[in-house]
Amino acid sequence: MEFLDAEATKAHINVDNAQGSVFFPGAARIDPALLTHGLARVLRTQGVTICEDTAAGHIGKNVVSTNRGPVTGDTIFVCLEGYSDTVSGDLPGLAGRQVIPVFSSMIATDPLPTSAWEDIGWEGRECLGDTAHTFIYAQRTDDDRIALGGRGAPYAFGSGLPGDGEVPAEVVDLLRTRLSSLFPDLDFEVAHAWPGALGVTRDWCAGIFFDQDRRIGVTRGYAGHGVTATHLAAKTLLDRSSGQPTPLTSLPWNDHFSGRWEPEPIRWLGIRSMHRIFTIADEWEAITGAKKTSLLARFGSRLAGLHE
Ligand SMILES: Cc1cc2nc3c(=O)[nH]c(=O)nc-3n(C[C@H](O)[C@H](O)[C@H](O)COP(=O)(O)OP(=O)(O)OC[C@H]3O[C@@H](n4cnc5c(N)ncnc54)[C@H](O)[C@@H]3O)c2cc1C
């Protein structure tokens, strides 16, 4: 792996007529599907068996019950993130509402013509994000679409899961509107939309746990930033399971207790209210040209358990 030098990773800050932007030249992007397939290929060549389409149920010492029969092992790692509630057992870091699924959804336009890209730019395939409280993120894909994501309807009562691929029409509309607001003259069609679940803890911090006696490890709570964090978490779990202290086992996310989410219906009401508050705060800050975070958004952050 090649590392960028410090100069190349310095942020470029641009402030113009109270509109600000920050450019990080060292930012990189990866294709997560390619990463997953590449990992699977390497693991298989090393003799690892991967069981797809197999749902784990109860997890106990040395055994995982699945819909295709029990799987035994000396050490078991539970890395289900937003889907952690789909398994049962006395699992470290998961007992009693410690992680919930929060939805994030994306849309992708049809491939845009060269004339559109001449206006938009993004020649370096830059990754883009705004800093709204209800933020969006976007990029130009290899086949010249815009892929844009955000959190529309972020939570379903009782920690419901997003299902297989259906994005509610109002969420697609919301993401489409956000894209139109960035490029009012752009003529585009939404070709694809897909949702997914993130694992979020009460303080939005990730945690890594390992029960030495039963040799069961758990990671969870990346809150939408797990593509790279999972790599570090996996290495940390391996070190934990070796029983030897290492620099990774002393990182603060080891055994970090984030608190517990409120029981329903308070949880649903709280998360819905928080999302509404952030939406209004974004509108208010845009209308007033606020240079500081509004009081409303600060209140929303406190409600959400976010660190300001
Ligand atoms: C739309 C969207 C955009 C995102 N964008 C970014 C981004 O730009 N950058 C970033 O860092 N992160 C991003 N994330 C978050 C990132 O995808 C996650 O943090 C990361 O995938 C977490 O990895 P994981 O392996 O811990 O969990 P997951 O990738 O969620 O994997 C959990 C796996 O467990 C499987 N599973 C669930 N239940 C069971 C069961 N009972 N038995 C067996 N298997 C089960 C699931 O099918 C899934 O494959 C995004 C997420 C979404 C949804």
pLDDT tens readout for residues 242-262 = 999 999 999 999 999 999 999
Is CATH 3.30.9.10 the classification given to domain 100-200? Answer: yes
Lowest mean pLDDT among 11-20, 43-52, 79-88, 218-227: 11-20
Residue 4 has pLDDT above 60, yes or no: no
Q: Which residues contact 93 (CB under 8 A, 6 or more apart)?
A: 207, 208, 209, 218, 220, 255
DSSP E strands, 159-206: 190-200
Report the 10 Å Cβ neighbour count for 14.
Answer: 10
Cis before 25 (ω within 30): no
Q: Which residues pair with 254 in a beta bridge?
A: 208
Task: Record the tokens describing residue 39, joined without a space.
Answer: 């990992």
Give me ligand 1 centre to Cα 72, in Å: 24
Q: Is the domain defined by 53-98+203-250 classed in CATH 3.50.50.60? A: yes
**Ligand 1 atom nearest to 106, measured from its CA:** 1
Atom 53 of ligand 1: nearest residue by CA position: 196
Q: How many other CB atoms sit within 10 Å of the CB of residue 61?
A: 12
To test the pocket of ligand 1, the residue of 71, 136, 198 to mutate (highest count of ligand atoms within 8 Å of its CB) is 198
Q: How far is the CA of 88 from the centre of ligand 1 (A)?
A: 19
pLDDT band at 154 (very low <50, low <70, confident <90, very high): confident
How many CB atoms are closer than 10 A to CB 140? 20
pLDDT in tens, 170-189: 999 999 999 999 999 999 99
Report the candidate in 64, 89, 88 with the shortest Cα–Cα distance to residue 74. 64
* Listed residue (275, 283, 282) closest to 300, CA to CA: 275
Contact 199, 79 (CB under 8 A): no
Instruction: Determine the angle formed by the axes of helices 266-288 and 295-304, rounding to 10 degrees.
Output: 160
Single pTM value for the model:
0.89
**Whole-number pLDDT of residue 303:** 79
Q: Looking at residue 87, what DSSP letter applies?
A: S
Give, for 64, the enclosing helix (H) or strand (E): strand 63-66
